[in-house]
Amino acid sequence: MKTIAAIASALVLSLSLSVAPAHAGGNQFNLDQFGLGNSMGVLQKGKHNNAAASQTGFFNDGTIIQKGNHNTAALGQVGAFNSGDISQSGKWNQAGIGQTGFGNSGSIKQKGKNNGGVILQNGNGNGADVNQTGSGNTAVVIQDN
């Protein structure tokens, strides 16, 4: 449980860092990759979208796609062979995804506005998908094994 709290803290920190600077309509993306063989792909179309990613370990695979305005995404992944995908279209959507360990898979897909989804996974081999369409939806998935 302590680990999940740490992931959650990192996720919140990552989100807060990604929205801190003020820019004139621009999108922002922050990337940190350590370890070996990690892969990250990001596509952002629109205004004021913020994406943050950090992959520490081996062969983690992350994708962030954001279309619209004022969307925020963060992605963690610490161990190895984790896979995380975030896809958002609309505006004011927020996504998470944590993941430590090995072979975890998390996906957040959101369409609309003001949706929030957080996935925190600890341990190995967890899988979680969040799909939300509309406005004002909230989802939280926490798995610890």
Partner 1 sequence: MLKIASLLALPLAFAAAGLGSGTASAAAAAPKPIVCELRVATAGAARELTAVAKAGAPIAASYQMDLSAVTAGGTANTSQGDDVTLAAGETVLGTTAIGPGGKFNAKLTVTWAGGATSCAAKG
Residues making contact with partner 1 (CB under 8 A): 21, 23-47, 49, 53, 55-56, 59-60
Identify which of residues 27 and 115 has a Cβ nearer to partner 1 in the complex: 27
**Least distance (Å) between residue 18 CB and partner 1:** 10
The conformation of residue 68, written as its DSSP 8-state character, comes to E
Residue pair 119/144 in contact by the 8 Å Cβ criterion: no
Identify which of residues 78 and 139 has a Cβ nearer to partner 1 in the complex: 78
**Least distance (Å) between residue 55 CB and partner 1:** 7
Identify which of residues 1 and 24 has a Cβ nearer to partner 1 in the complex: 24
* Terminal-to-terminal C-alpha distance of the chain: 10
Residue 47, judged by CB atoms within 10 A of its CB (0-12, 13-18, 19+), counts as: middle
Residue pair 82/119 in contact by the 8 Å Cβ criterion: no
**Least distance (Å) between residue 62 CB and partner 1:** 9
**Least distance (Å) between residue 50 CB and partner 1:** 10
Tokens of 100: 């430590």
Identify which of residues 16 and 39 has a Cβ nearer to partner 1 in the complex: 39
Identify which of residues 82 and 132 has a Cβ nearer to partner 1 in the complex: 82
**Least distance (Å) between residue 139 CB and partner 1:** 26
CB 2: neighbour CB atoms within 10 A? 7
**Structural element, H or E, at residue 131:** strand 127-135
